[in-house]
Amino acid sequence: MMQDISARLREQAIAATRDLPEGEGLDALARALVRLGVAVSVTALDRQAIAEAIQGAFDAGASVDQVEEIIALVSGLGVHSLMISQAMVLAAAGERGLLDPGSPLDAERQALWDRHVGDDAFWIGFEQENPGFLTAMLRLCPDLFKAFFDYCAVPWKIGSVRARTKELVAIACDIAPTHAFGPGFRLHLKNAIALGATRRQIMETLDIAAEGPGHDGIA
């Protein structure tokens, strides 16, 4: 099933990049960081692949900060559990009369929304790709809402890896056959294109993801 979804996402990427210039491919560092991201993803966690990817990243000239930034970025895949569940939890809680999903936001929640989302184009697009996720999480648990934004900001605060490369890493992790998460994939694909990723870079990223390790478990 995930293989089928991953294949459909690849078709979406081909369609979205059809009019892009072929351009240059991934440089050695970007390629190594994409491989690292795929290997260390929670949907893979292959010890040998991780060890090889770490060495490959250092061989390509990556700094310690860059390696840590990619790992921090990819560790955020855990928030996909929130993205899928929060609107469902809110709806179920509303049906049981545990809360009112349509009530006005209180002052605390409104302040959190204004601070973290507001009119930010990225988060508005994010909410469109994941309808109801942010608002549901805010209503259910303001502490979790704040923690989500704080954690997601870490790799961007480190800032040692180009934004375009981070988007390509995210694309690879989201389309990996062991994950196949369409909402994130489409968002990061759009961002990568906006940041100037070439068609060849995106296709090479998809190929790295397709060749990534499976998930045999950690003993």
65-111 pLDDT, tens digit each: 999 999 999 999 889 999 999 999 999 999 999 999 999 999 999 99
Q: What are the pLDDT digits (tens) for 1-27? A: 667 899 999 999 999 999 999 999 999
pLDDT on residue 3:
76
Nearest CA to 38 out of 77, 88, 87 is that of: 77
Structural domains of the chain, with CATH: 2-78+155-210 (1.20.1290.10), 79-152 (no CATH)
Tokens 């002052």, residue? 107
Nearest CA to 212 out of 184, 185, 182, 172 is that of: 172
Decide: 173 and 37 in contact? Cβ < 8 Å: yes
Q: What are the pLDDT digits (tens) for 31-67? A: 999 999 999 999 888 899 999 999 999 999 999 999 9
pLDDT on residue 124:
87
Q: What are the pLDDT digits (tens) for 147-165? A: 999 999 999 899 999 999 9
Q: What is the largest CA-CA distance in the chain?
A: 57
Cα separation, 62 vs 70, in Å, equals 11
H or E element that contains 9: helix 2-16
Tell me: pLDDT of 29 over 80: yes
pLDDT class for 207, splitting at 50, 70, 90? Answer: very high
